[in-house]
Chains A and B, each alone.
Chain A
């Protein structure tokens, strides 16, 4: 197991490097640049800006300087758009926000999704099952950019219970709507995956044996069925977790949470190269890390899997 983790971590380094180089090349290959606007800058002004941000250097120097800065100093460079701030500043401020609402969304989505999926599988073809399936289909087709304005309308405008946006250091009234809006579609997927895998497990011989032995249903589910049923879900949860904690532009845009989701998308539109790279590396690293975590969990849950 230990050597497996070491091996995986060693593969992660070249994977990240390829990610960085590919993103860097693609980014600079895209037309336009961070300093283009409706009003083009005079050449002498543009020259100063390009010199300041190192854009007057040859491409190979830019990319090697960048990678060296990241590796040696953990410095992701200055933002090209937000002139008073560095990429480190932006991530340091935005990531904790995203991590907070992403984490709670994950918890909510997993707890509700797993419960709902399991209940539906146990009571297959009952009203509970139909309700659960109906809910997941509904939640799946109701994307968060539809969900968010509806929540706002109901809880802020009509009922006046919750503030319409902002973060305020993550106080709970500010957290509720982002968490609900972000978690529903994940919740639906989790419920669906859980339901089908639980159904499959419940029809296997070892469960039938357990039931035949007279073990109470509750115990059969929790003790015997849960572990194998959760395996297919695990491979979904890894990327889903990364997806949630690295933010959603929809949540950030609708609820003004100040997370990194908007920074990521806007940096692509405004060609803010350094912010785009910084967040790409962050998301890439987290994806690799959590895929590894999922693999380790697999081995822990399923004794058949050995590395």
Chain B
């Protein structure tokens, strides 16, 4: 390069930088996309209710999880597609037996300037498992199969027996008791996030209050009025602060979803939920604001298979007939009308790495299904001269009621089945269903992590969540095999086929998350199956 060209290049660079800086003052642009950013980078959204806790070790609801993900950062994060990307851990290694994970931490800081140490993770995990904290989410560490976790929770071993250690300030070693292909994925869950040992020990339960809380995420807690609002603002100590754009995030507790929608339309909110049934109208009026993305939950009816049930339900023909006669398309398109999808498998269709298997029912038309259902009912000895009577229970909610009414009509019209509907208050319902004091009951399950076993583990004989009390040794063997399989899809397909064949549950639909999201809010992780969003990935463009 000649002197002249160097000079010109330098001059050009200086002008570019100066011009860019001057321009940035007036209209900052997004560093990657170049979009012009709005001057006010505040994101305000609605939550249904106050979260029971914002302590990472204790938090138990998804709204609380959204808050905690902004305030704290674990070993791993998720990107916009739900893939894992480094968080506090820069990298990790797995031992050959897949049972020991070694994480190398970056130079991250707490919001008070202290370094985030490996020992903070060790402390946080031990604390989450400790009987003293009695965290309702300590079971997540059991799900992760951390060494000795059940014994620690039960109080049979001291907390330092837990399979996590810190050989030095930048290294965390975790030992697990069975290989879990999705283990790194689970580290994006809030129960595994670090907490500042010094602060928690000094302040006790008071440490989560604004002013007291020290955190290591992209934001710090600045205001919290329970049942009203929670405000978090940018954390200058965050290691990736320079790439954070949103300055302030406010969550407002608004119990009533219609009120929330009114306030959204009045411009007070950037994001809110769409009340049931309003999706089509809102989509027509505000096409740029309405979003509907898969939401990691499945809706189903569970059938009691114990001796307290209606004896007719012990006949697999009856169960299959009932499942076939449910016209999922009507439920999804006419009753719910919010982007949900008909379910013929338990596992949500959008689960990572899961291909929905071809069960016989999927390829049939509804007319063919109804025809087969009638045949099966006749084979079981039920028909117009001998109609079957059933009881179906659900927890009190207009949405559950609409679905139950629709399903009972389908059963009545196609099979002549008389269904008595019963709704119960939530707590009463849980007890009734948990005690197998029902015939058919509503159920729903949401993914804890983005992998099919989060759904399919539920139907194992010993699972505490298996309300149908479905017992099938073949199924259990498949699920055990899947844990070490190179391609667990094979086992998952077989497991779904077993469910389709034995019908302990009737899958009805797979959830969608229907939201209003202001059109100038960008960076939303639409493809993140669990809808785990991080405010630091969002930005607001100028209108």
A residues bordering B, Cβ < 8 Å?
Answer: 30-33, 35-42, 44-45, 47-49, 51-52, 81-85, 90, 93-94, 148-149, 152-153, 156-157, 160, 163-167, 252-259, 262-263, 266, 269-271
Contact = CB atoms under 8 A, between A and B. Distances in A.
Interface string B60-98: 000000000000000000000000000000000000000
* Residue from the set B131, B265, B445 with the largest chain A CB neighbour count within 10 Å: B131
A47 B138 CA distance: 12
Given A47-B154, A164-B262, A266-B49, A83 B255 contact: no
Given A45-B153, A49-B136, A256-B227, A82 B52 contact: yes
Interface stretch (B312-320, B331-339, B422-430, B522-530): B422-430
Name the 10 nearest CB pairs between A and B, nearest first: A32-B427, A164-B263, A258-B228, A253-B255, A258-B227, A52-B134, A48-B134, A83-B53, A44-B154, A48-B131
Interface in B221-251: 225-229
Contacts of B427: 30-33, 36, 269-271
B167 interface: no
B455 to A, nearest CB: 12
Given A38-B430, A90-B226, A51 B131 contact: yes
30 contacts: A31-B428, A31-B432, A33-B427, A38-B444, A39-B465, A45-B134, A45-B136, A48-B131, A51-B131, A82-B52, A83-B53, A83-B136, A149-B258, A152-B259, A153-B262, A165-B252, A165-B268, A166-B229, A253-B259, A254-B255, A254-B256, A254-B259, A256-B253, A256-B255, A258-B225, A258-B226, A258-B253, A259-B227, A269-B426, A270-B427
Contact of B153 (A38, A44, A164, A257): A44
Contacts of B138: 45, 48
Contacts, number: 143
Given A51-B131, A149-B262, A164-B259, A40 B434 contact: yes
A52 B135 CA distance: 10
Given A48-B134, A84-B205, A262-B255, A157 B262 contact: yes
Interface in B188-233: 205, 208-209, 225-229
Contacts of A157: 262, 265-266
B41 interface: no
B411 to A, nearest CB: 25
Give the secondary structure class of A's interface: loop
B259 A149 contact: yes
Name the residue in B142, B225, B256 with the highest tally of chain A Cβ atoms < 10 Å from its Cβ. B256
B303 interface: no
Interface string B256-274: 1011001101101000000
Given A157-B265, A256-B254, A266-B49, A167 B225 contact: yes
B227 A252 contact: yes
A85 B207 CA distance: 11
A264 B220 CA distance: 30
Nearest to B430: A36
Chain B interface: which size bin?
35 or more
B185 interface: no
A39 B297 CA distance: 13
B496 interface: no
A84 B54 contact: yes
Given A31-B431, A40-B465, A83 B52 contact: yes
Interface in B14-60: 49-50, 52-55, 58
A4 to B, nearest CB: 40
A254 B253 CA distance: 10
Contacts of B132: 52
B520 interface: no
Given A84-B54, A164-B262, 17 more contacts: A32-B431, A39-B465, A40-B434, A41-B139, A82-B50, A83-B55, A94-B227, A149-B258, A152-B262, A156-B266, A157-B262, A163-B268, A164-B268, A253-B256, A256-B228, A257-B228, A266-B49
Contacts of B228: 166-167, 256-258
A40 B266 contact: no
A271 B229 CA distance: 24
Contact of A84 (B58, B434, B445): B58
Contact of A81 (B52, B263, B266, B268): B52
Given A31-B431, A254-B256, A258-B226, A51 B134 contact: yes
A274 B228 CA distance: 21
Nearest to A167: B228
B178 interface: no
A181 to B, nearest CB: 12
Interface string B112-156: 000000000000000000011011101100100000001001110
Contacts of A152: 259, 262-263
A40 B53 contact: no
Nearest to B432: A31
Chain B CB within 10 A, most for which of A94, A166, A252, A270: A166
Given A42-B142, A52-B134, A164 B266 contact: yes
Nearest to B225: A258
Contacts of B153: 42, 44-45, 48
Contacts of A51: 131, 134
A147 to B, nearest CB: 13
Contact of B252 (A32, A35, A41, A256): A256
Nearest to A257: B228
A35 B258 CA distance: 29
A258 B225 CA distance: 8
Contacts of B142: 42
A258 B227 CA distance: 5
B134 A84 contact: no
B54 A252 contact: no
Given A156-B262, A157-B266, A166 B428 contact: no
A32 B254 CA distance: 26
A135 B227 CA distance: 34
A164 to B, nearest CB: 4
Contact of A166 (B134, B252, B262, B434): B252
A88 to B, nearest CB: 13
